[in-house]
Amino acid sequence: MAGQDLTVDCTTMRRAAAIVAEAASVFDGGPPAAAGPAGAALGSSGPARAAVAATARSLQRATDAARGLAERSRTMSGAMQTTATAFEVTESVIGTFR
């Protein structure tokens, strides 16, 4: 199959991996804010306490989901780095036989 060539831009792949890793640090923000003053502003009635508790649970689920996304992003970034390295090694080995 003379004339066919596969080119992989490993530099761009590594830059993309760095962007994904940076995004992971954004997804992995700090702990959720307490309901403090906003919760107190609703009053102390049963429905107000229930609304604050439901909001806190939703916020915790969203925080957990964001942290999961951060972990998956870090995994993807590492895989992209590994793939770039594998292509570079392959290219260097193939280059010696050309």
For 26-66, the pLDDT digits (tens) are 888 765 555 555 556 777 888 888 888 898 899 889 989 99
How close are the terminal C-alpha atoms of the chain, in Å? 14
**Structure token pair of residue 61:** 């689920």
- Domain boundaries of the chain, sorted by first residue: 10-31+39-96
CA–CA distance, 80 with 47 (Å, rounded to integer): 49
| pLDDT (average), residues 69-73 | 95
Single-letter residue type at 42 = L
**Cβ-contact 25, 64 below 8 angstroms:** no
